[in-house]
Chains A and B, each alone.
Chain A
Amino acid sequence: MTETTAQGPARERPEAPAGAGGRPRGATRTGTSKPLLGAVGIVAFLGMWEAVPHVGLVSERYLPPASTVLAALARRATTPDFWTAVGDTLIGWGLGLAIAFVGAVLLGFAMGALPRVRAFTNSTVDFLRPIPSVALIPLAVLVYGTDIRSTLLLVVYACFWLIYIQVLYGVADVDPVAEQTARSYGLGRLARIRYVVWPTTLPYLMTGVRLAAAVALILAITAQLIIGSPGIGREIAVAQSSGAVSSVYALIVATGALGVLINIGVRALERRVLRWHTSVRGEATA
């Protein structure tokens, strides 16, 4: 055990900066072993989940074995209601994230250009930002009832601050030399935003988007579960109040799968948008 862990990094470390010769070999090796390890991990997890109720560690009534839950999920995946719920959840997630993104970017860049206003609003932002979105559930219900707007309120509120703060840091991080160089080359305000501020902010922005994408899913499901707005969360609540335990777990697995897909999607987007950035093309600098 200790030997292998001590050996692992020690063997790999000298290869990392080895340049052109070492790179392809390293890449293919991790390329094959990583998904393999991942698959083994999932199989082991499912095996454990299958065993726990069978052994009697937890009663099968409250934690049905993996096979039962996955069968329930497979059955559910053939019904249009399930896909409507998935669609509603994705709409709440995507629309909320998009509104938060546009609002946060516009306001963030405006604040970057108006440092006085930013100083003026700082304390308000610091007060509003830590308010957990779920604390707004009573307000959401009162104003919007149980439709999708309630979901959107929670998602937008949580995601807006995540992205907005990142944008504020991003626009504040502009290299003064680059900014002055752009000025002395006669670039106008818009051109400077496009060629100096935007590329500086983009990595921060993408970090905000990545965090917000995960949080948006959490809040979309929460809103549906608690408020009863349409989506997978509400399906979980219905299954729970019907005593349909395996359906509850099947839907939870579905939300997990959705989370994984969203994460993969956002990572891919990040790599694409920031392909020029050192954090993504790291090895090419060597």
Chain B
Amino acid sequence: MTIETGGGGATTVPRIVSGELDFAFGNVVSLMVAREQGLPLTVVANGMTTTGDAETDYSALVVPEGSDITAPAQLQDATVAIDNLRNIGDTSVRNSVRLDGGDADHVDFVELAFPDMVGAMDNGQIDAAWVVEPFLTIALEQGATPIAANFVELDPELSIATYFTGDELIASDPDTVDAFTEAMNASLVYAEEHPDETSQILTTFTEIDPELIDQLRWPRFETEIDRGALETVADLMVTDGLIDSAPDLDTFIR
């Protein structure tokens, strides 16, 4: 087995379809969009789940220090940074705005890389940002205020990202796929039970400051993929026009 890092869904999905990669990690919104476009992809294991608790979740919608905005409903006509347009960021942020009674159709989303968001908030280029770790902790350290836990509000059991494969591999080599699912589930259980080891592994493939690593908020490493939460995501995606109809979850997840 070799682990490759680098490249988001735009690079991993075609490589799964072409059979060059066997398994990849991607968020559920990207996968549902890809499925609707007819790409033969199936989820084989959970990746990470929100903690379900706004105080500890690894993802949040934040505003800069001194901002007048205190709740998602006030984001109407505000500029909000997300890492990818028409993906899980805007879908979940729109949901938070709606839940708070705001007008989700009039939020101006701009695409920025996570590392650039805190700086853009400081410069006043954006009014709010959706950030995930390690940039959530960095943002909070620099005085940002969380105004919504977008994933928790979407569903406290939401699986944000999952491992997936191509249907061709499932047909040709189901044993390998089974083995992968089993191994991933074992590793998820281990990661959840050994948080210290899990955070230490970050020092081997990232450059996150060791002091920062101790403060990071983590997702939950859960083996179950909650279908109710995925149905909620799919409905929101239909509402926002990302897909025309909700996928059949029985074939979406193996």
Contact = CB atoms under 8 A, between A and B. Distances in A.
* Same assembly: yes
A238 interface: yes
B15 interface: yes
A145 B142 contact: no
Contacts of A227: 6-7, 11
A146 B212 contact: no
A232 to B, nearest CB: 13
A210 interface: no
B5 interface: yes
Given A142-B15, A146-B6, A227-B6, A243 B119 contact: no
A141 B14 contact: yes
A242 B134 contact: yes
Q: How large is the interface on B (under 10, 10 to 19, 20 to 34, 35 or more residues)?
A: 20 to 34
A78 B15 CA distance: 36
A241 B11 contact: no
A234 to B, nearest CB: 6
A242 B115 CA distance: 8
Nearest to B202: A242
A243 B138 contact: yes
Interface residues of A, number: 20
B209 to A, nearest CB: 7
A238 B15 contact: no
A142 B135 CA distance: 30
Contact of B135 (A141, A237, A243): A243
Contacts of B6: 146, 227-229, 234, 237
B206 interface: yes
Q: Which of B11, B207, B208 has the most CB of A within 10 A?
A: B207
A239 interface: yes
B173 interface: no
A261 to B, nearest CB: 25
A43 interface: no
Closest 5 CB pairs of A and B: A228-B6, A244-B207, A242-B207, A242-B208, A242-B206
14 contacts: A141-B7, A145-B4, A145-B15, A145-B20, A227-B6, A227-B7, A227-B11, A228-B4, A237-B6, A238-B205, A238-B207, A240-B113, A242-B134, A244-B207
Interface of B: 4-7, 11, 14-15, 18, 20-21, 113-115, 119, 122, 134-135, 138, 142, 205-209, 212
